[in-house]
Structure 1
Amino acid sequence: MDKLENSHRLENLYQQLFAMLNGDYFQQIERTNSKDHLEALSVLVNMITEQIRGSIMRLGFSRPFYSYTVVTQMLFFLDRSRNIIKMNNGVKKLLHYEENDILGLTFKKLLYTDSHKVWDQGVKGIISGPERETTLQLSFLTNYGLLFPAQCKVLYFPDEQYLNQKIIVTSIKVSLQREAPEDILNLDLQKTHGGRTQIPKNKKGHKYILNTLDIEMIHSIKKYIVAHLNESIPDILDLAHTMGTNEYKLKNGFKELYGMTVFQFIKDQRLRKAHTLIQNTNKKIGYIARSVGFKQGNHLAREFKKRYGYTPTELRLLSSHLNYYYI
């Protein structure tokens, strides 16, 4: 029996080290009551994971806009008995379960034992109390036997027509992103600027070195861009000359500092601002699109869907629906 248990613990160690190798520092190894070398090693690996995660989170200088990126979201729909009746694909990616393994299962069974009391008390509070939502720090058990800590938003709908006595649990995974994904941040600007948006790739192993003056100059360009999002995208050469530098230094320096091209950054900031305005104001989506630099609402809708996985209209409807319950 001990050999079987030790084999399982070694597999957990392997899975944790593999996750760290792939840049995922949000999982942990489940602790046991054993007092042996394997348990000491598990504690050590968990400590190293936490230290690396903390160090990365404190890095405020290196590529601040894409050091951490929302990668996927877990979403569970629970019935009145707190059984899982629907989930999204994010659950498969994060917890490594198949849909058939989870549907019909009591949500509590996905949680580590230390989270059972937190879950029970939290759900009891939103069902019996005046508040219909709460935020809980829960630890899930993945199909590989690792712990996956996550901050979860839990919503209870007592008398909604389609969600009568249903519970929604949602969580966002934040992950280290070495480079901005091209499929999200690619700008369709070749035609506009005669194909000059492509940055020549540096030779393998070459790193563009920035001095203090370069960094200050690029920060100034970033501030200028953010303050003029509603204007037409500037030509890189003109922008460089306006800010007192050259095209090569602007292109390579900006990407080295922020992890993305100037045009990718502009698109990213436009989408971020549009998301905030759609979610928190009643302004028309077409007006918001123009105010952040998109010529038409359908242009915003297309890029918005690529970036977030849902349309501006869907976000507005969801925000209005949730605000109804928060009042």
Structure 2
Amino acid sequence: MLPERLSKVVCADDLERFAGASGSELRLVTPGVGGRDPILVGEFQRVQLRSGLALHTSNTREVHDLHTEAVQHPGLTIALFLRGHIDAWFGGRLIEMGPRTEDARDIEAIVVARSESDSFVRRSVKGARIRKLNVTITPEWLDQQALLSSPECAAILRFSRTHLATLRWTASPRLITLAEQILGPPLFAAPLQKLYYESRAIDVVSEALLAISDAPAQSGSATIHPTHHRSVRRACDFIDANLDHELMLPSIAAAAGLNSGSLQRAFRLLYGVTVFEYVRSRKLDRARAALERDGISVGEAAYLAGYKTPGNFSTAFRRRFGVTPRQIRATS
């Protein structure tokens, strides 16, 4: 059975009841807030997918400045904030999570290792809108996958055994798509829903472990030249400024100051996609924002995203976000 999903207005008592039901040691320490005082508006849940693999999601607005504390046990926590910012302290060490501005283009993923139990403190401000997921895995889960005994996974072993080791990386479009699918899942019967979450959570873990494995190479010059980072940034700025126009690879490359082949290679190394896969994802992001913010029709959203038919647009939209445009429009 899936654990209870808290939705709409969440009170302090609800949070404590939810924490107890999910086995969490979370406690609310915000002064003057308790009982039936509302603290969140939206929904969040914690799902124990299997032994050693847990998922936590949140799509909420903070009603108060919130301060929570917990004890976290050994393992890896992977966090992806699609919206919103919090300050978190792991064992007294500040690790900021999530973009500080609404218009941030690059979504950052982060993984934190704990080789021993330690304190966790979370603080967010009133009015903050948080849309994020966490996936947590234990050392036992990693060992069951034979990841800690394989010589090819030595970097993962070192990282997992280094207390409060932290890695940040730019989330690939695939990772963002997985997060969108988890945060906006189709409606299934409970066993299928859990399987749906588990398959995508494992994919999120795979992306994080690959990032850990690749981290030494990314710190050197063999992967991508530092000037190419700036060139890709210029290309992304050019793409965002010209989403209403037909974008051709030569013009994007010229704006970046690279030839077409070098730009394609840089995009694959940094984002794991081609230039036009990135363009397509940005247009779909813009169409979703317009559906949510402006309530435009599905046909208008399809046109905005560059699709000639609503059917093709809906297929691509659901593949990226895990929900249909009509479902987004109905909840806007």
Scaled to the shorter chain, the TM-score interval is 0.3 to 0.5
Query: Normalising to structure 1: TM-score of the pair?
Result: 0.42
Query: Normalising to structure 2: TM-score of the pair?
Result: 0.42
Q: Which has the larger radius of gyration?
A: 1
Answer 1 or 2: which has greater strand percent: 2
Answer 1 or 2: which has greater helix percent: 1
